[in-house]
Amino acid sequence: MSHGAARPILPGATLGILGGGQLGSMFAQAAKRMGYRVEALSDVADCPAARHCDRVHVGDYADGDWLAAVAKSLAVVTFEFENVPAEAARALAALSVPVRPHPDVLFITQDRAREKAFLVKHGFACAPHRTVRSRDELEAAVRELGLPAVLKTAAFGYDGKGQRKLVAPTDVAAAWEALGDGPTGPCELVLEGWVDFECEISVVAARGLDGETTAFAPSRNAHAHHILDVSSVPSGLPERVLATAVETTRKILASLDVVGVACVEYFVTRSGEVLVNEIAPRTHNSGHLTIEACETSQFAQQVRAVCGLPLGSTRQLAPAAMANLLGDCWERGEPDWAAALGVPGVSLHLYGKSEPRPGRKMGHLTALAATAEEAIARVTRARSLLRGE
């Protein structure tokens, strides 16, 4: 698709963001610093983006009249969350508001089965997998792929929600019951062969209207209970692995004709293979450290890309690490913020969520240091101090 010589959207214009979470909040902070107005479209009023947006439109994404009324003031719409119905993005695009990335990118990446089909069609390496719609199909897929394997719901999964690891044949029945038997009939699922990876990495990249693509350095990601725990850059991986990940990301963004920011997560196997895990059509948790560590943050880059402006430099100024703060950090009461901030090089980001539920992303810490190892040590020490450990 050619986006032609569309004119850039300049400061003073109003940018729309679909979703009201922390990624929208950090996008709004970057955009407002650059002189834009930002309005979020959310299905809840009390959302993190409300603290930094000029306005939050609260409504039902399925309500065409609401979308039409909201669209009037917007110069462009982008995403901060992929569990927004693709129909809402299509409805906005039909109202002549540029939606960047375009709604098909959301449609493909919000569903694991469609995303895997896209990867296979375009020859991008990923884990062996099967799409299953019944218990019999699941049994057959387990026989073909072997165990261990991971069963994932095709739609509406994130942070390990909608996932079950299958280790023994006796796990099949419980996994199907937990994920396959939806309230309105069987759900579509994807069974993935277990990848015995050496590490996980991700690449956040931006692609402009003219097809120019810039990537941030790949981040090494450690997960705990399927939720991102710590990201660090540089990753310390061989140049060949990094180059493969960056080049694959560039090709994926080009194949999807992304205008905006997207993140591709990868498994790096013990033999050095780089397998795509998933694609997010937006900024990513593993890119938060770019706020302090890079010449342009992933959020400022998202503003530039969706507005048709030149992309910024992704050069990293110092090794960095980011640690997520989940609701669990409040288990022993209010965290010890002062102790955490006493660690040199540490910055605190809190998203303004009032209820610290276990597993809920409440904020994050970033540390800069002379090496990635030292940045990880600083950020994890700060988090331990904050928890009173």
Q: What secondary structure letter does DSSP report for 111?
A: B
Is there binding between residue 192 and ligand AMP (CB under 6 A)? Answer: yes
Number of chain positions touching ligand AMP (CB under 6 A):
12
Q: How far is the CB of 228 from ligand AMP (least distance, A)?
A: 8
Q: What secondary structure letter does DSSP report for 176?
A: I
Token output for 27: 């996008």
Separation of alpha carbons 6 and 39, rounded Å: 22
Is there binding between residue 82 and ligand AMP (CB under 6 A)? Answer: no
- Token match 């331990």: residue? 384
322 has which bridge partners? Answer: 231, 366
Among 223, 270, 315, 332, binds ligand AMP (CB under 6 A): 223
Among 80, 278, 292, 336, binds ligand AMP (CB under 6 A): 278
Among 11, 85, 160, 356, binds ligand AMP (CB under 6 A): 160
Give the binding range for ligand AMP (CB under 6 A) out of 19-27, 35-43, 68-76, 191-199. Answer: 191-199
Is there binding between residue 274 and ligand AMP (CB under 6 A)? Answer: no
Residue 57 CB partners (closer than 8 Å, separation 6+): 39, 40, 41, 42, 66, 70
Strand order in the sheet with 163-166: 129-132, 189-193, 149-153, 163-166
Comparing CB distances to ligand AMP, the nearer of 115 and 292 is 115
Is there binding between residue 150 and ligand AMP (CB under 6 A)? Answer: yes
Is there binding between residue 277 and ligand AMP (CB under 6 A)? Answer: yes
Is there binding between residue 226 and ligand AMP (CB under 6 A)? Answer: yes
Phi, psi of 320 (to 5 degrees): -150, 155
Q: How far is the CB of 104 from ligand AMP (least distance, A)?
A: 21
Spatial CA neighbour of 130 closest among 74, 193, 62: 193
Q: How far is the CB of 377 from ligand AMP (least distance, A)?
A: 22
Token output for 259: 């205008």
Comparing CB distances to ligand AMP, the nearer of 46 and 159 is 159
Site for ligand AMP in 115-144 (CB under 6 A): 127
Among 108, 195, 262, 340, binds ligand AMP (CB under 6 A): 195
Is there binding between residue 109 and ligand AMP (CB under 6 A)? Answer: no
> Within the chain, where are the H helices?
22-33, 64-71, 86-94, 103-109, 112-121, 135-145, 171-175, 239-255, 290-293, 298-306, 337-341, 372-386
Count Cα neighbours of 201 within 13 Å in the Cβ-side half-sphere. 27
Q: How far is the CB of 145 from ligand AMP (least distance, A)?
A: 10
Comparing CB distances to ligand AMP, the nearer of 129 and 381 is 129
Is there binding between residue 200 and ligand AMP (CB under 6 A)? Answer: yes
Q: Name the residues that contact ligand AMP, by CB under 6 A.
A: 127, 150, 160, 192, 194-195, 200, 223, 226, 265, 277-278
